[in-house]
Amino acid sequence: MVRTERIDRVDLMRTLVRIVEAGSLSAAARQLNTTQATVSRRLQSLETLLGVKLLLRTTHAMKLTDDGERCYQHARRVIDAWLALEDELSQTEDEPVGMLRVRAPHAFGQQQLLVPLTRFLERYPQLTVEWMLNDKSVNFLSDNIDCAIRVGAEVDPATVSVQLAEVPRTLVAAPALLARFPAVKTPQQLGEMPWVALSSFYQHEIAITHSLSGEQARVAIAPRLYTDSLYAARNTALAGLGVAIVSSWAVEEDIQHGLLTPLLPEWQIAPLPVHLVYPWARYYPARLRMFLQLMREVMPGLSGMRQPESRA
């Protein structure tokens, strides 16, 4: 009976943490895979148990009371300690267990990372991964995400960010398009061509650097198409709609088969950094620590990836 009570209290505190971090009772219910009525009942039980009001709610807003803020901070510490205990008792030799929620970019997550992810799951049968492919910025608390793989994104100083690799990029166009612009020899002439913009990384201007002299050039462009999809940019470039700057791994075979042609090979496009990002916490479960170790090991060796250049 005592053991059941202890577990119930941990569940009540976990529910409070999820309400606060998800932003509402309904969002917390979705993340906990239960009903809003159950979440509301757990909140009331915790308030009754502690004898204080934890949340002030109106139709459109929710706010922690002072007691609620203290309870939330304490609950976070208790849950971290509980997770550490669960890991210690349920795993052998640091084997990861439970659910790991990961967000990765669409193209990257569909192609480059599926093989190492599959092997990771085969190696650890007690682990489950929710693999969410989304190019949007991540809010770890409201989205209920454990970690995210970010390509080319600005690093949030409020999170832990580990650079894993760099993605080289290539400036390409279809031969049919180049037949209409046979005299493209300088960066400035690129501005006269139609473009497909990978809007996550460039929209109205590109920056390129000469590989020998180090000369830098910025070129204004007027895209025919803006897209946040690497595959859409690559496919419309193949169709001859415009010039595109895409991850080298995505067009390597197209170049080999003559379907796309690199432009101005003596000029280079800056590579995109690849980071694994996760929120700061006092305790990280084995599933997150092992996934980070996996990404550190496999990322630089993936097709088209390279080790990040050292920074002075």
pLDDT tens profile 101-112: 999 988 888 888
Fold observed for domain 169-270: D-Maltodextrin-Binding Protein; domain 2 (3.40.190)
Per-residue pLDDT averaged across 237-248, rounded? Answer: 96
Is 292's pLDDT higher than 70?
yes
**Which residue ranges make up each domain of the chain?**
2-90, 98-165+273-301, 169-270
Contact 155, 275 (CB under 8 A): yes
State how far the alpha carbon of 61 is from the alpha carbons of 191, 196, 275, in Å.
Answer: 49, 42, 34
pLDDT recorded at residue 1? 35
255 vs 286 pLDDT, higher one: 255
Domains 98-165+273-301 and 169-270 share a fold: yes
Confidence of residue 220 (pLDDT cuts 50, 70, 90): very high
Closest CA to 258 of 185, 174, 180, 182: 174
Q: Which residues contact 2 (CB under 8 A, 6 or more apart)?
A: none
State how far the alpha carbon of 232 is from the alpha carbons of 44, 113, 229, 249, in Å.
Answer: 49, 19, 5, 15
Classify domain 98-165+273-301 by CATH architecture: 3-Layer(aba) Sandwich (3.40)
Is 252's pLDDT higher than 70?
yes
Is 282's pLDDT higher than 80?
no
Is 67's pLDDT higher than 80?
yes
Per-residue pLDDT averaged across 164-186, rounded? Answer: 92
Query: Looking at 11-25, 87-101, 132-146, which range is the least confident one?
Result: 87-101
117 vs 26 pLDDT, higher one: 117
Contact 53, 64 (CB under 8 A): no
Q: Does domain 2-90 have CATH number 2.30.30.40?
A: no
pLDDT recorded at residue 312? 38
Sheet of 205-210, strand order: 216-220, 205-210, 267-269
| Prediction pTM value | 0.69
pLDDT recorded at residue 117? 93
User: What is the distance between the alpha carbons of residues 217 and 214, in angstroms, rounded to a whole number?
Assistant: 10
